[in-house]
Structure 1
Amino acid sequence: MVDGAGDHGADLIAVRNREQWVFQCKWSSRGSIDRAGVDDLERARTRYGADRAVIVTNTGLNRNAELRRSALESIGLKIDVWDGPMLNAIGENMPSRIPRAFGLRGYQIEAADKIMSDLADKNRALLILATGLGKTVVGGEVIRRFVQENPGSRVLVAAHMKDLVEQLERALWRHLDKSVPTHLLTGDYKPTGEEGVVVGTVESVLAFVRGGWRPDLVMIDETHHVGENGRFAELLDICEDAAQFGVTATPWRGDKFDITSRFGSATFKMSIAEGMAEGHLSAVDYRLFVDNLDWEVVRSASEYGYSLKELNRALFLPQRDEVIVDRFQEAWRETRDPRAILFCQTIEHAERMAKTLAGADQAWRGAAFLHSGMNRQQRQVLLNGFRLGRVPVITCVDVFNEGVDVPDVNLIGFLRVTHSRRIFVQQLGRGLRLSPGKASLRVLDFVTDIRRVAAALDLKRNLERLSEDELEVLRLPHPASRVEFDDATAGTLLDHWIKDAASLETAADEVRLQFPEAGGVD
């Protein structure tokens, strides 16, 4: 939705089957739409490079508008009109359920079965699925079954972010009968009724339930945002009589609050490594670059017992942007139909890297930055261009962490320090979704935090453990995943060096470490 100042004549833009659509919506109580509506849409088609252009109206076009539309069509610029009678016919002829273009995978059915069982037995359930494994699909299936088994019931879906809430409501449409209404509840939208499914931000939902509305089922998306206190905790307390379940890909919190105290032990879970081994996530070729390590620090780490913050400051030398660009260029040329995201240190760094990339290679001339300093309209337009392949590379800081679906991404670069295990997994997950023609995800990690090494090594060990398992975990035709260091000798040493630091991946900055002796450094 791009309506507003600077919309260039469009109200909606969309991507379908690799085509850009642009819509101009005209509601009128005083007659037909005039030529200005057609001109607005043609201006929007040019601005957004649209393949399809549609005027949507409850009435129709007047004579001047039809003449203008015919003139444009005569030179190959077709504009479709969805008028009142057509919209009414579409609504009446629409099947009660959206025909499914996909079937639930076996583990998704199993997860939904177990959640329904836990809700029936304990009124609580928790789903932990790695990014890309379809936690929203499972959540939608649970809601579908609950509504089917309890006609007339009220369902609440709450999340922390408005963009995510709008995405969740759309995702539910493919699960629900069209007779089940869905309502958005945010600062911009209010429900038109109290029945069906309400999908809202936690702040708006809290005000709604304080006013007396009560759901029969509550789903909390991105459940790791639930703390011991706060808005989510208050919401769940007020709705304590309702069945409640949470879904998340990253159950860890910085304050160490255990979300299982709210929802019970995980009803069903599948990790990144398990998803890769089963062929449900893209294989990953993960390369850590450690040529910026100060090996003198490795020699002295055991002796001095650095804190994590001190160790990172001393251990990692500054990595020059030019070196990163050279490494990225090598990977780009080795990747089929590359589509890349680079996670940068700051907004300024993201803007600088996008400009550097655009001038470094003809293939990157459309490189762009995406960050929280841009308005929502700008972000949506850029994401559509990225999905269409018109923007080959996006540099960003953290706007891709949650709620953005970009399955075509097959190249990721980490150019920043990430102290949070949760953020690391979320960002890695942006490229793990399967997509037609996508062979694997290539990851370039210009590591600047020892915790990142620990996280990557943990992923490597899990993948190796699963591949050696006697269970038939590689039954699908799927390339093997691998996690490697650019310097194999350094990788072996680091693997030995942090082997006994079991909690290193989630340790806080002030934790003081005693590593094993780093023999063989000389």
Structure 2
Amino acid sequence: MPHLFESNCAPDTSTCRARIIEILNYLDDVGPIDPDQLIQRSEASECVAGHGLRFADLAPLVVRGEDSRLRLSAAGDDLLLDAGRPSPDWAAQPAEGSSRLRKWQAEALRAWCDHGRHGVVEAVTGTGKSRVGIEAVREAISDDYNVIVMVPTVDLVTQWIRALQENRVKSIGAVGDGSRASFTSHRVVVGTVQSLHSNPPVRPDGKVLLVADECHRYGAEQWSKALHPSYRRRLGLTATFERNDDGIAGLLKYFGGAPVYRIGFARAIADGVVARYDVKLLGVRLSNLERREYDRAEETARDARLQLLAAGFPTEPFGVFLHLVQQAAESDPDPTVSDLARRYLKAFSERIDIMTNASAKLGAARLLAPEVERSRGAILFTRRIDMSEELASVLTECGIKAAAVHSETRRAERQALLTDLKVGRLKVLVAPTILDEGLDVPDIDLGVVMGGSRSRRQMIQRMGRVLRLKGDGRRATFIVVYAEDTAEDITRNDGAEGCLDLIVESADSVTQLTVDRDRLQPGVDDLQLRLKGRGGS
């Protein structure tokens, strides 16, 4: 039998808030008990989601008396009082100035309350997950809590403040970008993780709600101080609760386990929360020169990866492998390993550049121009800044009102471009990852990915940008352009995790566009692209 406050699960196992509350309720009911009884009760506790439990997390919640028996500590008593608050009727009439909650939003809030007001809500982009956070904020304020809304970007600070104000939440202040709000001056503090992590606001009684938007970002060690252990209520919001490194373990522990509620595209479409959509897939070929360069980089990357695996690097998940390789390239004490890591990363980057900048994609953009023109607004997603500029130029040459937006675009100009897209002064924005998450994107109905990302998180974010519910009920179209027989080919079934199933499973129709190479087109790798639709699913 383990020592009382040693962990009874693997180091990366999350602790379940609901199981802790169950144990504390038992202790409160039966009075002081022997340590062995607490261990037995802990091992017998259950969670429908299968979350783990660490005895160590019970330590501050119980106290040992002179008779060596255990009873609730003041912290444990406070936790039970707070966790025992019944869940409001979230589906009832909304507060003044707010619209009625969607069914899934009420369900998510109820699940969060049932888990002791700790937990992550995972909702695909476009479903309205920020409203879940707003209602948690409103409840916290009524219970005499302060609130922190933590976000990854300055743009999101502005968006959250606006959304809270629109829902009649008062006393809101910002931290970061020259602003210095505090709990002394404001009930709600909104700030970036960069501005909050070094000195997070606290209250002596711990009555703070943390709403962590895009919470999958906060597993990195440098942000851990922002996830303050004293905060009694914790709500994480994300489209995909996963990370590419072991930072997920800390997030699981902090928020009390895996997401307490999930909603994907299938449910969102069935509930009428996001738009129905069609999918079109277009594979283009690399030129002869591009193919030779790609194959060379692929061989180098494959050889270096095999040697790194032989040196003890993990086979999967790939995100963890890549994270460790990046660390080894910077600081591994073994020069052989660090050299292998740098060689792998160089070849890996070269592959991305070749796929991203494939000349045939410029030709594909020309031939997709009529579809862009017919849309009510579009976004073209790519990987690199220079390619976003090139694609915008190609579309402009085709008579389309297009502009590139990326990390080198000033914030004020970004907002102006988004406004231009919203009101129709622009037909399309071409962007690398800057529009993947965070920014409010106008009511567009066409998304084109000029590079078939195999990242499920990135694909969910990009789909959500296009599938936001349209005011007039119109459907959306999602086009994926990918280099055939490369790592971005989302139709390949090579055992690696992909995202084709994610794209097609909820689509009303799936069309594989084919490329006619019978005629030449000057300047596009001696290819004439002419799209032909071929239905399929």
Give the alignment's TM-score, normalised by structure 1.
Answer: 0.61
Aligned to 2:112: 115
Per-residue CA deviation, residues 247-282 of structure 1 (Å, 9 max, x unaligned), is 101212111543333312211110123322332211
Q: How does 1:121-136 map to 2 (within 5 A)?
A: 124-136=118-130
Q: Is structure 2 residue 498 aligned with structure 1 residue 458?
A: no
**Distance in 2 between the 1:460 and 1:368 partners?**
26
1:210, CA displacement in angstroms? Answer: 6.9
Aligned to 2:210: 218
Aligned to 1:354: 392
Letter in 2 for 1:254: N
Letter in 1 for 2:468: R
1:446, CA displacement in angstroms? Answer: 1.0
**Distance in 2 between the 1:419 and 1:455 partners?**
5
- Aligned counterpart in structure 1 of residue 513 of structure 2, from 474, 480, 486: 486
Inter-CA distance 265–345: structure 2 relative to 1 (3 Å threshold): closer
**Distance in 2 between the 1:199 and 1:313 partners?**
40
8 Å Cα contact 1:344/1:396 also seen in 2: yes
- Aligned counterpart in structure 1 of residue 261 of structure 2, from 256, 265, 268: 268
Aligned to 1:376: 411
Per-residue CA deviation, residues 108-155 of structure 1 (Å, 9 max, x unaligned), is 1111122122235xxx2110000011110111111112222x1x3211
Aligned to 1:202: 193
Q: How does 1:182-193 map to 2 (within 5 A)?
A: 182-191=172-181, 193=184
Inter-CA distance 293–273: structure 2 relative to 1 (3 Å threshold): farther
Letter in 1 for 2:175: L
Aligned to 1:250: 240
Inter-CA distance 377–399: structure 2 relative to 1 (3 Å threshold): same
Q: How does 1:338-417 map to 2 (within 5 A)?
A: 338-361=376-399, 364=400, 366-416=401-451
Inter-CA distance 425–451: structure 2 relative to 1 (3 Å threshold): farther
1:452, CA displacement in angstroms? Answer: 3.3
User: What is the DSSP-based 3-state SS (H/G/I as helix, E as strand, rest coil) of the residue aligned with 2:433?
Assistant: coil
Q: Is structure 2 residue 356 aligned with structure 1 residue 329?
A: no
Inter-CA distance 342–282: structure 2 relative to 1 (3 Å threshold): same
- Aligned counterpart in structure 2 of residue 105 of structure 1, from 89, 102, 107: 102
1:318, CA displacement in angstroms? Answer: 3.4
Per-residue CA deviation, residues 83-117 of structure 1 (Å, 9 max, x unaligned), is xxxxxxxxxxxxxx7623x3211111111122122
Per-residue CA deviation, residues 62-94 of structure 1 (Å, 9 max, x unaligned), is xxxxxxxxxxxxxxxxxxxxxxxxxxxxxxxxx
Provide runs of 4+ in structure 1 moved above 4 Å.
Answer: 210-215, 305-317
1:215, CA displacement in angstroms? Answer: 5.2
User: What is the DSSP-based 3-state SS (H/G/I as helix, E as strand, rest coil) of the residue aligned with 1:226?
Assistant: helix
**Distance in 2 between the 1:147 and 1:482 partners?**
46
1:321, CA displacement in angstroms? Answer: 4.1
User: What is the DSSP-based 3-state SS (H/G/I as helix, E as strand, rest coil) of the residue aligned with 2:138?
Assistant: helix
8 Å Cα contact 1:141/1:175 also seen in 2: no
8 Å Cα contact 2:453/2:488 also seen in 1: no
8 Å Cα contact 1:456/1:483 also seen in 2: no
Per-residue CA deviation, residues 269-301 of structure 1 (Å, 9 max, x unaligned), is 10123322332211221111124289x99xxx9
Letter in 2 for 1:270: I
Per-residue CA deviation, residues 13-56 of structure 1 (Å, 9 max, x unaligned), is xxxxxxxxxxxxxxxxxxxxxxxxxxxxxxxxxxxxxxxxxxxx
Inter-CA distance 210–339: structure 2 relative to 1 (3 Å threshold): closer
Inter-CA distance 190–418: structure 2 relative to 1 (3 Å threshold): same
**Distance in 2 between the 1:397 and 1:240 partners?**
38
Q: Is structure 2 residue 225 aligned with structure 1 residue 234?
A: yes
**Distance in 1 between the 2:414 and 2:358 partners?**
30
**Distance in 1 between the 2:281 and 2:239 partners?**
23
8 Å Cα contact 1:116/1:142 also seen in 2: no
- Aligned counterpart in structure 2 of residue 437 of structure 1, from 464, 468, 472: 472
Letter in 2 for 1:153: Y
Inter-CA distance 109–195: structure 2 relative to 1 (3 Å threshold): same
Per-residue CA deviation, residues 377-400 of structure 1 (Å, 9 max, x unaligned), is 111111111111111111111111
Letter in 2 for 1:354: A
1:401, CA displacement in angstroms? Answer: 1.3
Aligned to 1:288: 281
Structure 2, unpaired ranges of 5+:
1-94, 293-297, 306-317, 319-343, 492-496, 516-537
8 Å Cα contact 2:134/2:164 also seen in 1: yes
Structure 1, unpaired ranges of 5+:
1-96, 464-479, 489-522
8 Å Cα contact 1:401/1:427 also seen in 2: yes
User: What is the DSSP-based 3-state SS (H/G/I as helix, E as strand, rest coil) of the residue aligned with 1:447?
Assistant: strand
1:189, CA displacement in angstroms? Answer: 0.8
1:203, CA displacement in angstroms? Answer: 2.6
**Distance in 2 between the 1:357 and 1:393 partners?**
9
1:417, CA displacement in angstroms? Answer: 5.5
8 Å Cα contact 2:421/2:442 also seen in 1: no
User: What is the DSSP-based 3-state SS (H/G/I as helix, E as strand, rest coil) of the residue aligned with 2:242?
Assistant: coil
Q: Is structure 2 residue 141 aligned with structure 1 residue 147?
A: yes
Q: How many residues align?
A: 357
Give the alignment's TM-score, normalised by structure 2.
Answer: 0.60
1:228, CA displacement in angstroms? Answer: 5.7
Letter in 2 for 1:349: M
1:327, CA displacement in angstroms? Answer: 3.3
Letter in 2 for 1:245: L
Aligned to 1:158: 150
User: What is the DSSP-based 3-state SS (H/G/I as helix, E as strand, rest coil) of the residue aligned with 1:230?
Assistant: helix
1:342, CA displacement in angstroms? Answer: 0.7
1:348, CA displacement in angstroms? Answer: 1.4
Letter in 1 for 2:114: S
Identity of aligned residues (%): 26
**Distance in 2 between the 1:341 and 1:321 partners?**
15
